Structure 1
Amino acid sequence: MSEPQTLLLDGNHAVSWAARLARPQVVPVYPITPQTPILELITAFHARGEMDAEILTPESEHSVLAACVPASLAGARVFTATASQGLLLMHEVLHYASGARAPIVMANVNRTVASPWAFWPDQTDSLAQRDTGWIQYYSESPQESLDSVLQAFRVAEQVGLPAMVNHDAFYVSHALEAVQVPGQALVDGFLPPYAPAQRLSPEIGSSWGNVVSQDMYYRHRQAIEQAMQQALVAAQEADLEWARLTGRSWGILERYRCEGARLVVVAIGSLCGTAREAVDALRAEGVAVGLLKVRLLRPLPQAALRAALAGVPDVLVLDRNHSPGLGGILNQEIRAALYGMERAPNVHGLLAGVGGVNVPPRRICELVRAAMGRAPASESTWG
C-alpha cells in the first residue's frame, strides 16, 4: 500500500494496520478478548502475503513475551498485543524486557482484571504495570491508536526501552471511525529499519543474562531511568515529526479549553472524549472548565503537567481504575507531580468508570459542579 487511504476501522484493526506498516519481523501473539481482532487481522495480512513477518502463536501470553525478548535482542523489530489477564500473566517478563533494553512495542486493550470475571473497559491492568520500565501511551480513538503505535516504535528503538500502547476495551477497541491510514513510503521514512549496534550475534560475540554485581545492577537501573528521561524528549520529537508528515499531532499532554479555567478535568483514554463533551456543555453555560488529557503516562511528564495546571484553582482527576488501599492511580500520580508546587491546585480524585461503568457527559458535569463546591479530600472518592 503505497498511497494513503481512508478506511472505516475500529481501534483494534487500526492497531493491526499500524503493525503492518511498521514492518515488524517477529510477531508473537496469543488471543484474548477483546484483543483478538488485532491478532486476526495481522494473521490475515500475513496469509495474503501483505505482511512479511514471522508470526508465532505460543501457548500463553507469558510465552508470547518470552519469545519477544530474544527476538528483539537478536536485532528484530518485534510487535505483540494482549489485554487484561494476558498482560498480568506477562508481568515478570515485562520487567525482564525493560531490563534487557528490548524495544518491543505491545498494544494492550484495557479490560477489567479478574476476579470477578468481566470484560469491560478498565485501566487497572496496564496501570498495575507502571513500574516495569515500559513506556506507556494511552489512546482516545482508533486514529490515535494507529499513530501511537508507529510513534511508539520510533521512540522505543531510539531510547532502548519497550513501549505499551493502551486503548480502552470496546469504547475504542470495537468502535468504528474513519481512519487515515498513511502510505508505506511515508511510514518507512518516519520509521527506518531497526538495526541496533548491540545485538545477540555470533559475529559480534555478545551475550545477555549473566549474573551481575550490586554496583553493576545499580548502574543499569540508572541507565534505564536516563533512557526514560530521554523518552520524554523523543516522544515529543516523534509527535512533531508525525505532525509534519501527516498533519496530526497528539502531544504528550493535550490542553482543551483550559484558558481561564476555574477547574480542569484530568483523565486518560476514552474518558477524555466524554469529558470533552462535558467541558463544551459547561462552557456553554458559562462555567469555566477545561480538560487536560494525559497521553504519555510513563515517563510521567511532570514539568509539563505543572506548566499545564499552573494557576488553575481546582483539578478533578477521573480514574477508570482502582488500586485497593490507594484509590485512583492517576489521582496519586497527579498529586505527586504537583507536590511542592507554589500555589498548587486543589486536587479532587474521583473513581469514575471503574469496571467499565458508563460515565456520560451529563454525569461528568454533575461531578464537576460538586467538586467546585467542596474542599478536596486527601483520598479518592467514589464518583
Structure 2
Amino acid sequence: MIENSKVLVTGGAGFIGSNLCEALLGQNNKVVCLDNFMTGHRHNIEPYLSNPNFTLVEGDIRNYEDCQKAVEGVDYVLHQAALGSVPRSIVDPMTATDVNIGGFVKMLFAAKEAKVKRFVYAASSSTYGDSKALPKVEHEIGNALSPYAITKYVDELYAKNFSDLYGIETIGLRYFNVFGRRQDPNGAYAAVIPLFVKKLMAHESPVINGDGTFSRDFTYIENVIQANQLAAITPTKEIKERAKDYYTKHKQNDTWVDTDSVLAEVFNVAFGERTDLNELIDALRTNLAVFDADIAKVQIIHGPTRAGDIPHSLASIEKGKTLLEYDPKFSIKAGIKEATKWYWENL
C-alpha cells in the first residue's frame, strides 16, 4: 500500500479516480485530485472536501499550468484522466485525441519536471484491437479498431519515450472492463454493467448488443486499486529481478532489464476470467432479485452488434503477478455481489 506520501490522482472525481482517492486517504496519504468534471462528478468526492489531507484542483489536463499546479510536491501520479468510451471516440475523434494524447503528454511532462518518483497511468485493453489471441499477453497486440484505442496506445509509446529521454519511471495499466461502486449508469456512453443495473432496477429491458456471446474479462474496482498501488511503489530493482525470468520464459529481449535504462512497463489489470454478456445479465438479475424478486422476470432485448467492438477479451495476468506480485481478490461473481448491493443502496 502507498502510505505517508503525497499522491496526485488525475480524473479523481471519476469512477476509478474517486475510489483511488478514498483508498489513499484511508492509508494516511495526502491526496491531490485534478478534475475538470467533464465526466467526473463532484458528489463522488464530496465526502473528502473537508478532509485536510485532500486537495481539489479544478482544472484540465489540456492546460499545462493546471498540470504544473496539481503535481507540485507530489511523490506519485496515478493518471486516470481521459475521455473514455469507444463509441464516443468514433463520434468525436478530435476531442478524444486532444484529451487522451495532448492532455497525457502535458501531464507526463509536468510530472517529469516535478521529479515525481513514478508516473502510473491508465492504459486500456482496447489496445489489443483485432488480435484474436486469447488470453491477451502484453507484448502481442493487433490493429486498433477505434480512435480511443489509438489514443491509449500512443500514450504507451509516449510513456516509454519519456522514460528513455528524460528518466521518468512509468507504468501503464491496461484495464479490462472495470466495474464497481460509483460507476455512472447515466449518459449516452455509460458502461454496460451500470447501464444494465439501472434498467433492471427500473424493470426495463436491457439491450444486449449482438447475440450475447461476446465476452469480456470484467474486473472489480478493488483489483484496480491494488494494481495501481503496486505499480507505484514496487521497487524497480525487484521488478527487474523478477522480469529476467519472465522475459526468458516468454523468449523476449527487453534490454532495460539488464541495463541502467529507466523503468517503463505495461501490465494487464484484470481477474483472468472470461464472462459473456448473457452470463453477465443472468448474474445481475440473480443478485438484484435478492432485493426485488420481480427483477428476475425482466426480459432481455438483443440489438445489433456495436461498431468497434471486439468479440472476446481475456487477459493474461501472469506478467503482473510475476513482476508486481499482483494478486486480484475479487472474481466477477464476488464483484457483482458487491456492486449490485451498492447500486441498490445508492441509485
The verdict on a shared fold, with TM-score over 0.5 as the criterion, is no
**Normalised by the size of structure 1, how large is the TM-score?**
0.34
Which is higher, the Rg of structure 1 or of structure 2?
Answer: 1
